[in-house]
A and B are shown apart, each in its own frame.
Chain A
Amino acid sequence: MLGELLFKTVIASIGITIFAVIFGLLFKGIDRKLVARMQMRVGPPIRQPFLDVIKLMSKETIVPENAVGWMYNLAPIICLASSIILLLYIPIGNFEPLLGGHGDIILVIYIFLIPALAMVAGGFASGSPFATVGAQREMITMMSYEFPLAVVIIAIVWKLSNIGGDIFSLQFISSHPIWEEVGLLGLIGGIILLLALVIVTPGEVAKIPFDVAEAETEIAHGLLVEYSGRNLALFYIADAVKMFAMASLVVALFFPYNLSDFIKLDEIVAYIADFLFFLFKVFLVMLFSISLVRAGMARLRITQVVSVYWITITLIALFGLVLLMWDNQYSIKWW
């Protein structure tokens, strides 16, 4: 049994790594292409992120002499590994999450912190003032978006706890879409929560307007300023994977519907169709909450990031939560 388990884990981790890297980079390519087209440019080919990674891998990897070597080199690995682990928990299409299970929703929130933390550690370890400013900014940003994120997740869970079951698992949440459990007030609440989550997304994946930690024009890529070669490539992939994972999480929380729920399909066809449909949903989420936002806004100052998240978005999310809570009392069915 143990042997089998081990075997399964190894295969699964290799599989998920390949899956994560390929789809992460693919979606990053799509994101870049989209943004380029929005800016009236041709943009790089969609496979560009792969080329970038191959190139970075072949470059010299410099460890600056002020850096704490082991930590400096470890950070990118942890960052990538934890980003990949994320995908083990998130349901993809019709496939059940490989590791999922009880409590994974909270686990996912925390695992999302780890890549950011690894970057912070790497930034601190590089011993450059810009990296330090970047790392401090990253910490602050992290603390800021975590609040509304926690509100959103707890609100959903709280709502679902009415129906009972293993509510703290993503699998459960995605098989009981929140929209089906709410009345009119709750519907509005749900939309508000979705909105909050959409705004948390660019922060979570460190994109404009919340990319203060890497702000190129201000602090020359901040955290990453000293990284080069293989280490930079790992961060690069991790960023792509994280973006994919975050978009998948939004899909799992709010748009878990599968094609096969609506159309009768053969088993295999259903799996494929659901998977493609899932990719499409991820694409849509990315288009609206990452690509469009990052192309259409200016970068905020760190203080503005904090106030946007702690005040504006948190209030919005809390309002959504309150609506969900009222929903129980003044239930008006909306379907």
Chain B
Amino acid sequence: MLPMLSQLLKQMVRKPFTNLFPAKYAPKNVRKYLKDVQEGKAKINPPVEPPEWFRGKILYEKEKCIGCRSCIRVCPAKAIEFIEEEKKIRIYIGRCIFCSQCNDVCPVNCLHMGKEFLLATDNKLEENLIVE
């Protein structure tokens, strides 16, 4: 009649399914914790491993780019801007929708999807979010 009850009692004694990213509970002092992590004193539980084809923050090999603007033409979000002076491009990650279409179209393969995805910020134009 209430099949969930027995299921719950079973699950209660089982190990939780949770991936403890970044720590089990909220640390008392986040900034100290993050500093400790940088200094190697504390450990961060890693996020679920992203797979091989993961579409994260774009990597751009600027030297290889020939300024053909194909990527700009196909980008559905207009996340790519052409820098006239350098004949290169600039990608705004805050606009990008991670479709990787620019990767496919680039004739010289200078764009790749990286694996970085922890991009949260309070400044949407910060350095980390602009790829040149």
Contact = CB atoms under 8 A, between A and B. Distances in A.
Q: Do chains A and B touch in the complex (CB under 8 A)?
A: yes
Given A45-B25, A296-B2, A37 B20 contact: no
Interface stretch (B10-18, B55-63, B99-107): B10-18
B123 to A, nearest CB: 26
A247 B4 CA distance: 23
B13 to A, nearest CB: 8
Interface in B1-55: 2, 4-5, 8-9, 11-12, 14, 16-18, 20, 24-25
Given A45-B25, A296-B5, A297-B4, A37 B12 contact: yes
Interface centre among B4, B14, B24 (most CB of A within 10 A): B4
A292 B9 CA distance: 8
A268 interface: no
Contact of B18 (A38, A42, A295, A296): A42
Contacts of A38: 8-9, 11-12
Interface string A28-66: 000000101111111111000000000000000000000
Nearest to B5: A296
Interface magnitude class on chain B:
10 to 19
Interface in A3-45: 34, 36-45
Contacts of B14: 40
Contacts of A296: 2, 4-5, 8
B61 to A, nearest CB: 42
A40 B5 contact: no
Nearest to A47: B25
A42 B8 contact: no
Q: Interface majority SS on B: helix, strand, loop or mixed?
A: loop
Contacts, number: 37
Nearest to B6: A296
Interface magnitude class on chain A:
10 to 19
A37 B11 contact: yes
A39 B2 CA distance: 16
B33 to A, nearest CB: 15
A42 B9 contact: no
A54 to B, nearest CB: 14
B16 A40 contact: yes
Interface centre among A34, A41, A296 (most CB of B within 10 A): A296
Interface string A103-124: 0000000000000000000000
Contacts of A45: 25
Contact of B5 (A39, A41, A43, A292): A292
A324 B115 CA distance: 70
A39 B16 CA distance: 8
A169 B78 CA distance: 76
B118 to A, nearest CB: 20
A43 B20 CA distance: 11
Contact of B2 (A36, A37, A41, A297): A297
A36 B20 CA distance: 14
A42 B18 CA distance: 6
Contacts of A36: 16
Contacts of B11: 37-40
B12 A34 contact: yes
21 contacts: A36-B16, A37-B11, A37-B12, A38-B8, A38-B9, A38-B12, A39-B11, A40-B14, A40-B17, A41-B17, A41-B18, A42-B16, A43-B16, A44-B25, A45-B25, A292-B8, A292-B9, A295-B4, A296-B8, A297-B2, A297-B4
Given A38-B11, A40-B17, 6 more contacts: A38-B8, A40-B14, A41-B17, A42-B16, A42-B20, A296-B2
Interface of A: 34, 36-45, 292, 295-297
The 8 A-B residue pairs whose C-beta atoms are closest, nearest first, are A38-B8, A40-B17, A296-B5, A296-B4, A42-B18, A38-B12, A42-B16, A37-B12
